[in-house]
Amino acid sequence: MAVPGAQEFVPESHDLGTLAAAARGCRGCGLYRDAEQTVFGAGPTSAKLMLVGEQPGDQEDRAGQPFVGPAGRLLDKALIAAEVDRGDVYVTNVVKHFKFTRAAGSKRRIHKTPSRTEVVACRPWLFAELTAVAPEVVVLLGATAAKALMGSDFRLTAHRGEVLELSDEAAAALPGSDPYLLATPHPSSVLRGPSDKRDAAFAALVEDLHTAVGLLA
């Protein structure tokens, strides 16, 4: 089935409240059907730093707020270690509805990675947030976020921590916006990774957040 995409639901507005309210009614792809609610980004319009994750998880879907579950707690720890106040940061996701499956006979909802089609369908919301906030630096948390702005050929492992620029496709959608980008592993991958590698993965995330802050004017 064709996916209409979010574009027709995105108002001509640079006001985050207006955008978030409109996003509640988005039917740009099929993911709204099974999720509880749209989880829009959160943070001040004045934020110079923007963090972009993949999609809300189980707890975010219930709370209606990004990064408030286990991955969010790890992100909070990393921000503290990098001496960044989360209150100064705009935090969002590429995809605004939780995609999940249920194991047979279980109530537990298991995260499913969004498809490229869903990422592209939802991306107009991210473009609207980028336009409204106009951050100086964007940290892409994980491969889904990185590919959404850097193109589907982007390899996170090859370019982690490098200072990057928008793909031509994303730049065309964001005239006048020219943030530095930095891609780093997703906090969930730090949590899920092998325990002997967890400290190093966490340190890498903190180091990349440090680099991001260092790029701010």
**Which residues contribute to the site for ligand SF4 (CB under 6 A)?**
6, 23, 26-29, 31-32, 38, 95-97, 121-122, 125
Vertex 148, ends 93 and 198: CA angle to 5°?
65
When the beta carbons of 69 and 171 are compared against ligand URA, the nearer one is 69
Binding partner of residue 66 among ligand SF4, ligand URA, none, CB under 5 to 8 Å per kind? ligand URA
DSSP string, 78-104: HHHHTT--GGGEEEEESS-S--EEE-T
Task: Assess 124 for contact with ligand URA (CB under 6 A).
Answer: no
Q: What's the min distance (Å) between Cβ of 109 and ligand URA?
A: 13
**Cα separation of 150 and 145, whole Å?**
8
When the beta carbons of 60 and 118 are compared against ligand URA, the nearer one is 60
Residue 196 has a CB neighbour count (10 Å cut-off) of: 7
Binding partner of residue 56 among ligand SF4, ligand URA, none, CB under 5 to 8 Å per kind? ligand URA
Q: What's the min distance (Å) between Cβ of 25 and ligand URA?
A: 20
Tell me the residue ranges of DSSP E strands in the chain.
49-53, 89-93, 100-102, 109-111, 137-141, 163-164, 180-184
Q: 132, 10 in Cβ contact below 8 A?
A: no
First to last CA, the chain: 46
Q: What's the min distance (Å) between Cβ of 69 and ligand URA?
A: 6
When the beta carbons of 23 and 206 are compared against ligand SF4, the nearer one is 23
Question: Site residues for ligand URA, window 46-105 (CB under 6 A)?
Answer: 53-57, 60, 66-67, 69, 71-72, 93
Query: For residue 141, what are the β-bridge partners?
Result: 184
When the beta carbons of 25 and 176 are compared against ligand SF4, the nearer one is 25
When the beta carbons of 69 and 124 are compared against ligand URA, the nearer one is 69
Q: 19, 132 in Cβ contact below 8 A?
A: yes
Q: What's the min distance (Å) between Cβ of 153 and ligand SF4?
A: 23
